[in-house]
């Protein structure tokens, strides 16, 4: 087998994020709330929070990381991420896997992985079907498979993934993340007739857990898969509770209703000084990226000078001080420190430049006659950010109105498939998740994503071409420069003001041993009860 560590190309030999994360702080103070813990080292229920409710459980058409958190539990992939402070992968459904040349990956499945519902054993034909259907049905996330041509089946358990050209994100994103999950060909064909999107109704499971119940905006309930033949997970059940506002999750943890949760950066200092009893606090670097986007096709924002005035009027450090209590760093673009393509400095100053902002505004003919709208999620941190931006823009005479949205409404704002709302959207505060390859950041801003996830409707042939070139570029320095140039182009359009990558502090009861990616995202099937 090829050295899997080397497959994480341009991630600094697996461990570029190592050392960026602070060590855990064990709690020794009296409890802030009564904690009820009914979990042993093997059994019980794991209770966790999620920042949004699931809305897509078809891995070929997945949306957002919180869906993948659940898919990781109910399906199997050839390989998966290894928990820890360094990026790596390990075998999951594959018994063997090898990149035999830049465009061919040979795999052999483990025997005895069963699909529920009487759909039989997982075979190479299921792998072929799962991967190719993303292209056949023109999935919005087909870019995750890049130049996939086909999967050749060699025998019941073996096959070869065939690419038309080299694809650098294959080992960092494609195989261990969303579209890498394998579904039952027979089950999906029976459920959908054409093998297309089955949405929120999985016809069969193949992971350690099954979806027992989902109550929208209340909880996701996972239970052990009785047909699972692999290593048994530590917990009988997992209950995931969606909480749009992480402050709510903090209160739920303090009340004893959660065993693990992310915490807000604004609360981090308080929890460091006075954590709940029997609690561990840990800090992880984040790959999220937060920015203010501008819809370039909205009539009020079509003037590039106006957009650049807005860019230069915004001071990211002031936003971070107010919304994150100074517990985050300002970002220089989409790509976090330590990843290929990270920029040392943006072309628009982090702290803004009011004099330049006024010059651009004058060139635009002055401020808009009507207030601009700022759309933001209805949570404390996003409302605070919007209010700071509102005050900053008022300094150059631009008036704004803040529209707060619940998650269900917000995440369809710029999607043409959801109606005409995208036409009225103007300024929007947004945050996307990220994985350890810069491709995952830039892929949402190509021209093909306009009206899907590219809500700014930014379209640049040069950007699109660089994006494609970088996918097959094997020279690390050349690839690094391509991604920096792409971010330069985004910023030059005036449609983006980059703000922060945040951070990922978490807290959990000391009777729990969580399993987290290097960016703090949970890998629930590897969570365990503490034996200490």
What DSSP assignment string belongs to 443-493? GGGSGGGBTTTBTT----HHHHHHHHHHHH---HHHHHHHHHHHHHHHHHT
Q: What is the DSSP string of 474-487?
A: --HHHHHHHHHHHH
pLDDT of residue 12 exceeding 60, the answer is: no
Question: In this predicted model, what pLDDT tens digit does every residue of 247-292 receive, in sequence order?
Answer: 999 999 999 999 999 999 989 999 999 999 999 999 999 999 999 9
Q: In terms of Cα–Cα distance, which of 489, 526, 139, 201 is closest to 333? A: 489
- CA dihedral (6, 83, 178, 496) positive or negative: negative
| pLDDT of 190 higher than 70 | yes
pLDDT score, position 140: 86
Pairing type for strands 372-377 and 400-405 reads: parallel
Q: Is the pLDDT of residue 7 over 50?
A: no
- 69-98 average pLDDT score: 96
Could you give phi then psi for residue 291, rounded to 5 degrees?
-155, 160
**Residue 24 reports pLDDT greater than 60:** no
pLDDT tens, position by position, 295-310 = 999 999 999 999 999 9
pLDDT digits (tens, 9 = 90+) for 65-74: 899 999 999 9
Residue 530: what pLDDT? 79
Whether residue 488 contacts residue 334, with contact meaning beta carbons closer than 8 Å, is answered with no
Query: What mean pLDDT, rounded, does the chain reach?
Result: 90
Centre a 10 Å sphere on the Cβ of residue 360 and count the other Cβ atoms it contains: 22
d(CA 246, CA 52): 10
CB hemisphere CA count around 151 (13 angstroms): 25
> From the centroid of its chain, how far is CA 518?
13
Residue 51 pLDDT class (50, 70, 90 cuts): confident
Confidence class for position 532, pLDDT limits 50, 70, 90: low
pLDDT tens-place string over residues 375-428: 999 988 999 999 999 999 999 999 999 999 998 899 999 999 999 999 999 999
- Whether the per-residue pLDDT at 438 is higher than 60: the answer is yes
- Average pLDDT on 488-492 reads 98
Banded model confidence at residue 531, pLDDT cuts 50, 70, 90: low
- CA-closest candidate to residue 303, choices 393, 374, 366, 390: 366
pLDDT surpasses 90 at 33: no
Q: pLDDT confidence of 143, banded at 50, 70, 90?
A: confident
Average pLDDT over residues 325-333: 95
Mean pLDDT of 493-502: 97
Predicted confidence at residue 42, as pLDDT, reads 56
Q: Is residue 260 a contact partner of residue 506, using CB atoms and an 8 Å limit?
A: yes
Name which residue leads in pLDDT, 9 or 54: 54
Percent above pLDDT 90 for the chain: 84
Q: Residue 182: name the closest of 145, 130, 107 by CA.
A: 130
CB 476 within 8 A of CB 239: no
Nearest residue to 134 (alpha-carbon basis) of 116, 121, 152, 146: 146
What whole-number percentage of the chain has pLDDT above 70?
A: 92
| Whether pLDDT at 362 is above 50 | yes
Residue 481 CB-half CA count within 13 A: 5
Closest CA to 411 of 9, 56, 114, 101: 56
Q: At what angle do helices 265-273 and 380-394 cross, to 10 degrees?
A: 120
**Cα–Cα separations (whole angstroms), residue 338 to 101, 304, 342, 470:** 27, 32, 7, 17
pLDDT at 93: 98
- In Å, how far are 61, 271, 286 from 67, measured between CA atoms? 10, 28, 18
Asked if the model's pLDDT at residue 40 lies above 50, the reply is no
Strands (E) located in 86-203: 89-91, 94-101, 104-109, 114-115, 120-121, 148-153, 158-163, 181-182
Average pLDDT over residues 484-494: 98
């Amino acid at each position: 087998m090829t050295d899997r560590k080397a497959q994480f190309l341009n991630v600094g030999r697996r461990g570029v994020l190592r050392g960026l994360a602070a060590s855990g702080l064990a709690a020794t103070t009296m409890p802030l709330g009564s904690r009820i813990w009914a979990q042993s080292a093997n059994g019980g229920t794991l209770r966790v929070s999620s920042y949004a409710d699931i809305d897509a459980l078809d891995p070929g058409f997945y949306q957002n990381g919180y869906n993948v958190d659940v898919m990781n539990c109910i399906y199997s992939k050839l390989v998966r991420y290894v928990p820890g402070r360094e990026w790596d992968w390990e075998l999951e459904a594959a018994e063997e896997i090898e990149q035999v040349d830049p465009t061919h990956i040979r795999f052999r499945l483990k025997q005895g992985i069963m699909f529920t519902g009487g759909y039989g054993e997982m075979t190479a034909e299921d792998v072929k079907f799962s991967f190719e259907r993303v292209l056949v049905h023109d999935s919005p996330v087909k870019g995750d498979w890049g130049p996939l041509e086909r999967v050749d089946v060699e025998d019941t358990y073996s096959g070869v993934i065939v690419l038309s050209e080299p694809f650098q994100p294959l080992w960092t994103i494609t195989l261990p993340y969303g579209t890498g999950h394998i579904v039952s060909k027979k089950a999906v064909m029976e459920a959908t007739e054409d093998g297309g999107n089955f949405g929120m109704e999985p016809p069969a499971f193949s992971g350690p857990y099954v979806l027992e119940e989902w109550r929208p905006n209340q909880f996701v309930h996972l239970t052990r898969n009785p047909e699972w033949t692999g290593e048994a997970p530590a917990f009988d059940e997992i209950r995931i509770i969606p909480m749009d506002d992480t402050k709510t999750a903090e209160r739920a943890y303090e009340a004893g209703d959660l065993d693990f949760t992310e915490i807000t950066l604004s609360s981090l200092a308080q929890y460091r000084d006075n954590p709940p009893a029997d609690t561990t606090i840990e800090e992880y670097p984040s790959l999220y990226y937060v920015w203010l986007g501008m819809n370039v096709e909205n009539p009020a924002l079509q003037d590039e000078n106006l957009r650049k005035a807005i860019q230069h009027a915004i001071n990211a450090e002031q936003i971070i001080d107010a919304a994150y209590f100074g517990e985050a760093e300002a970002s220089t673009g989409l790509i976090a420190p330590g990843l290929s393509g990270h920029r040392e400095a943006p072309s628009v100053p982090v702290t803004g430049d009011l004099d330049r902002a006024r010059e651009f505004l004058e060139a635009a003919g002055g401020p808009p006659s009507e207030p601009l709208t700022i759309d933001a999620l209805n949570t404390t941190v996003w409302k605070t950010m919007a209010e700071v931006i509102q005050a900053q823009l008022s300094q150059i005479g631009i008036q704004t109105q803040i529209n707060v949205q619940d998650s269900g409404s917000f995440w369809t704002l710029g999607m043409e498939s959801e109606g005409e709302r995208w036409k009225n959207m103007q300024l929007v505060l947004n945050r996307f998740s990220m994985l350890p390859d810069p491709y995952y950041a830039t892929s949402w801003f190509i021209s093909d994503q306009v009206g899907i996830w590219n809500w700014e409707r930014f379209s640049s042939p040069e950007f699109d071409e660089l994006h494609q070139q970088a996918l097959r570029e094997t020279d690390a320095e050349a690839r690094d420069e391509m991604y920096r140039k792409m971010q330069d182009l985004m910023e030059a359009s005036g449609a983006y003001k980059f703000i922060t990558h945040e951070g990922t502090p978490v807290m959990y009861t000391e009777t729990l041993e969580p399993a987290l990616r290097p960016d703090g995202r949970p890998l629930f099937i590897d969570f365990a009860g503490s034996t200490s």
